[in-house]
Structure 1
Amino acid sequence: MDRRTFIRAAATGAAGTAALAAPAIAQDRQVVKMVTTWPKNFPGLGTGAQRLADRITQVSEGRIEVKLFAAGELVPAFESFDAVSSGAAEMYHAPDYYWQGKHKAFNFFSGVPMGFTCQELNSWIRFGGGQELWDELAGQFNVKCEMTGNTGAQMGGWFRNPITSIDDMKGLKIRIPGLGGEVMRQIGASAVALPGGEIFPALQSGAIDAVEWVGPYNDLAFGFYKILKNYMYPGFQEGGSGIALGMNKGWWDALSETDQAVIRSCCAAELDIMLSEFNYQNSVALNTLLTEHGVQLHRYPDDVLKELAAASENVVAEVGSGDPMSERVYASYKDFRKLIAGWSRLSEQAYLDTRDANLEL
């Protein structure tokens, strides 16, 4: 998808909400609407949403036929939550940190700075009490959520010059949304939240100096390398960004246990497939960026990472305070991060360190 198509998709559809109707039901067959925050066929995310819609339709043998509407086709991207909460649509496909304006605790169920990796997030959701807290939080808005995707660890961003100290980031106008943006503000940068289709024009005009998006797969597609050549890592802001299937709770509760199991199974399958796709495509795209487009890869210096980590802890702690729901979610998140970090350090991290130190790869 080119940038013009993205912009057109994101800018249209505001009038669509009123036209939405209840699902068509005939002889136990439902045609339901999935609205998304992605442009049509957007690599990895938009295509993942379509894959999920098709799988639910197929595995349910057509009892639940899911019709996907990309951002702007029925409702604008950031009205997806309201459409599902109200019952105007049955499903949305999005990262739940987009809904922090509804309740700040939604951040924890997608990704927070210096938070979980994909595997750790899945463990918290499935076995560490996360799903129960998510059900309680989303239920306040008549929504039921299931984890259905993850983009994996993200990159640190694109810059005109390599970042060698925290002072290099002060005053920079960087596109970075959510809590990552709050961290950047704490260390003196100017964070700007822009939808994907507006990023490249903003770079061209000089409205922003730097950009954080997702990772090599999506960054290559958006062509940031044409303007910026310095690619920083690691991405402190999102260690594993969860994607949710949000469903109207009244609609979900009316489903049979069999069809609820179908949807849960389809979400679990797509979660695995999306992460696998991003790991593969990021590997291929990174090689292309480095070998064909002159991109320079740089690791953030340790002292910069230390300051970013300290700012991250402050921002996340603030999000986890102020109301009982946020405090409970934050306490669960923090306890589980402490628990699982020990195993992550001894298992995958130690294995990867050993492999890198002893093999030529």
Structure 2
Amino acid sequence: MTNERRDFIKKTSLAGIGAAIAVPSIASADSKKTFRWKMTNCYGAGAPFYSTGPGSASYFCKRVEELTDGRLRIKHYPAGELIPAMEGFDAVSKGTIEMNWGNSFFWAGKTFAAQYFTAVPFGMNFQGTNAWLQFGGGQELWDEVYKPFNVIGLAAGNTGVQMTGWFKKEIKDVKDLDGLRMRVPGLAGKVLEQLGVSVKLLPGGEIFPALERGVIDAAEFVGPFQDRRMGFQKAAKFYYTTGWGEPSNTTECLINKDAWATLPKDIQAIVKTVAAECNLMGLSWSEANNSEALEDLVKNQGVEAKTLPDSVIEKLRELTFVTYAKLTANDPLVKKVHESYFAFKAMHDDWQNKSEEVVMTKLSS
């Protein structure tokens, strides 16, 4: 071996050793970097599922801190503590805060396509919605819809089927809806307006006072457990189901895109994993608690649980798809999301009818 060759090997070996030493020091520095974020919430302090308890925003923040060993700490602010309940989207978009917990259909005024990532009238249940989001192109469309706003949305909870709502009077016919003042968000509200309903969009904490004082005649919120906690049974006694407006309802973890880009890949992975954990945990918690709550409301608190008449459901279905046609006609992105969602639904329905439907109709007690 020549002297020149020995010098080359010696130099490159030393360089390699130096690089090997340098890489861990870089990784170590990155692994020690800490992040302090703020998260606001569309729902108030103490709200089960949304603010406290399994799968909630506070649970999410705690789990992220635990799994990142304190590298990402997120301070949770329930509605009204830092900003008003419905200002989370703008605050995250501008980078004033890094995260918001709520539902994407609250932002349908900015882009109607946001509706499809929370609840779709006459749409899919939890299983279908999650399948579309994860494996049917739904998440990619969510990213595309939110790109102009500099935000990212992640599914972080699901209530399952939501009730149609609380009514002060019985609904026997479509005409009984005419003239009602009702708290109901999203596309369901747009449909009900065509039947003469005066739609109000109120934060959760404002619903009961409005219903009790007669400012509104009816209200949709979530399901038996959360609704009972809000005290709606004290202001209205007719409780209707069908889930036409919200066959499932996805919670959104909204993240500022610039802030997201500053997180190391491992922390990004942890955030996504905890969101997925909350998504499943939220549904499981809802399923575990709603049955007992509904039984208590009916047996002990004088509530009449009813299903909307078929004639009402069919009218709602008709108007819903007329509304879809109008809203997708002039917005290519909304049309793209709509077509993707309902194409996946058609496929999923075929399987659902051969699986879940059989279980529910043939095997249930």
TM-score (norm 1): 0.89
Aligned residues: 333
> 1 CA distance for matches of 2:257 and 2:311?
46
Give matches, 1:276-315, under 5 Å. 276-315=284-323
Moved over 3 A (4+): none
Match of 2:39 among 15, 28, 34: 34
Matched, 1:84 2:89: no
- Give the stretch that moved more between structures: 306-315 or 122-131: 306-315
Match of 1:344 among 344, 347, 352: 352
Residue 22 of structure 1 corresponds to none
Residue 190 of structure 2 corresponds to 182
* Deviation of the 1:321 alpha carbon: 3.1
Match of 2:173 among 157, 165, 172: 165
Q: Deviations over 1:310-344 (max 9, x none)?
A: 11112233333322211211111121111111111
Residue 21 of structure 2 corresponds to none
> 2 CA distance for matches of 1:202 and 1:91?
29
Q: Deviations over 1:239-261 (max 9, x none)?
A: 11111111111121222221111
> 1 CA distance for matches of 2:96 and 2:311?
49
- Give the stretch that moved more between structures: 169-178 or 84-93: 169-178
Residue 101 of structure 2 corresponds to 93
Residue 229 of structure 1 corresponds to 237
> 2 CA distance for matches of 1:165 and 1:254?
55
Task: Work out whether residues 158 and 228 of structure 1, in 8 Å CA contact, stay in contact via their aligned partners in 2.
Answer: yes
* Deviation of the 1:89 alpha carbon: 1.1
Task: Work out whether residues 55 and 266 of structure 1, in 8 Å CA contact, stay in contact via their aligned partners in 2.
Answer: yes
Residue 268 of structure 1 corresponds to 276
Task: Work out whether residues 43 and 204 of structure 2, in 8 Å CA contact, stay in contact via their aligned partners in 1.
Answer: no
* Deviation of the 1:134 alpha carbon: 0.7
- Give the stretch that moved more between structures: 190-199 or 139-148: 190-199
* Deviation of the 1:26 alpha carbon: 11
> 2 CA distance for matches of 1:203 and 1:126?
38
> 2 CA distance for matches of 1:202 and 1:74?
24
> 2 CA distance for matches of 1:254 and 1:30?
9
What letter matches 2:79 in structure 1?
A
Q: Deviations over 1:8-43 (max 9, x none)?
A: xxxxxxxxxxxxxxxxx9940111111111111211
Give matches, 1:55-66, under 5 Å. 55-66=63-74
Match of 1:210 among 218, 230, 238: 218
Residue 151 of structure 2 corresponds to 143
* Deviation of the 1:235 alpha carbon: 2.3
SS of the residue 2:101 aligns to: strand
Residue 246 of structure 2 corresponds to 238
Task: Work out whether residues 105 and 319 of structure 1, in 8 Å CA contact, stay in contact via their aligned partners in 2.
Answer: no
> 1 CA distance for matches of 2:116 and 2:72?
30
* Deviation of the 1:236 alpha carbon: 1.0
> 1 CA distance for matches of 2:246 and 2:310?
18
Q: Deviations over 1:291-319 (max 9, x none)?
A: 11011111111111111111111223333
> 2 CA distance for matches of 1:187 and 1:201?
25
SS of the residue 1:34 aligns to: strand
Task: Work out whether residues 112 and 316 of structure 1, in 8 Å CA contact, stay in contact via their aligned partners in 2.
Answer: no
Structure 1 stretches lacking a partner, 5+ long = 1-24
Match of 2:124 among 116, 120, 131: 116
Structure 2 stretches lacking a partner, 5+ long = 1-29
Matched, 1:322 2:330: yes
> 2 CA distance for matches of 1:52 and 1:313?
36
> 2 CA distance for matches of 1:73 and 1:320?
37
SS of the residue 1:140 aligns to: helix
Q: Which of the pair has more CA radius of gyration?
A: 2
* Deviation of the 1:161 alpha carbon: 2.7
Q: How many percent identity over aligned positions?
A: 38
- Give the stretch that moved more between structures: 320-329 or 149-158: 320-329
Q: Deviations over 1:222-251 (max 9, x none)?
A: 111112111111121101111111111112
Q: Deviations over 1:166-191 (max 9, x none)?
A: 11212222221221111111122222
> 2 CA distance for matches of 1:158 and 1:108?
24
> 2 CA distance for matches of 1:140 and 1:125?
20
Task: Work out whether residues 165 and 239 of structure 2, in 8 Å CA contact, stay in contact via their aligned partners in 1.
Answer: yes
Residue 194 of structure 1 corresponds to 202
